[in-house]
Amino acid sequence: MLTPYANTGVPIERQQIIWDILKANPLDSYILSGAPGVGKTTFARGLESLARAACPKNFAVYSQTAMKYQTDATAVAKGEYVRGLVKPNVLDNPHGIRWAVYLDDVDKLSGSEFIHRNVFDLLNAICDERPLPTQLVLTTNKNKTEFTKFFGDAVAWRVFKHCAWVSIERAA
């Protein structure tokens, strides 16, 4: 699972470099960027496995597509109960639990003000300094400029400060 795959179009050497970085730093935060089909989700899932192995106790993981997060956040706002939805207030807890939040395809979120505000509040809380830092892993088809335009300067600045940007590109 944590080895390069020839059919993505991404050079094997580049994939190996990315895997080596993720294996060496499994609890760090990342934005995995690239065109559809280059392996962003595969890298994120592999990283999640590595993070769980590196921090087997008191480690809570929220791992969903961004669209699932959007659907669940909207349902909660309408008063419905949604099991497992991560909210900013759960990140600070008295039980010594370290959180990781994985959102796949964040560029698929709607452009509504409600969703942007929800995502801003969540990302803002994740990026806050705390005794046990929260891991954030996002996947996107956007480059840094497109990401900033989509989410706005305030979100992009916080996320870029918290996460390492990993560009996954096919060979030319």
Mean pLDDT of 10-24: 92
Distance CA 160, CA 163 (A): 5
Report the predicted TM-score, pTM, of the whole model to 2 decimal places: 0.93
**Homologous superfamily of 7-168:** P-loop containing nucleotide triphosphate hydrolases (3.40.50.300)
Question: 71 is written with which tokens?
Answer: 């659907």
Helices (H) and strands (E) in the chain, counts: 6, 5
Residues 35-76: pLDDT tens digits?
Answer: 999 999 999 999 999 999 998 888 899 999 999 999 999 999
Residues 126-167: pLDDT tens digits?
Answer: 998 888 889 999 999 999 999 999 989 988 999 999 999 999
Closest CA to 159 of 112, 110, 103: 103
Domain map (residue ranges) of the chain: 7-168
* Residue linked to tokens 């994939």: 15
Instruction: Give yes or no for residue 1 having a pLDDT over 70.
Output: no
Q: Contacts for 88-92 with beta carbons within 8 Å, 24 or more apart?
A: 88/121, 88/122, 88/124, 88/125, 88/126, 89/125, 91/125, 91/126, 91/128, 91/130, 91/134, 92/130
Q: Which helix (H) or strand (E) holds 61?
A: strand 59-65
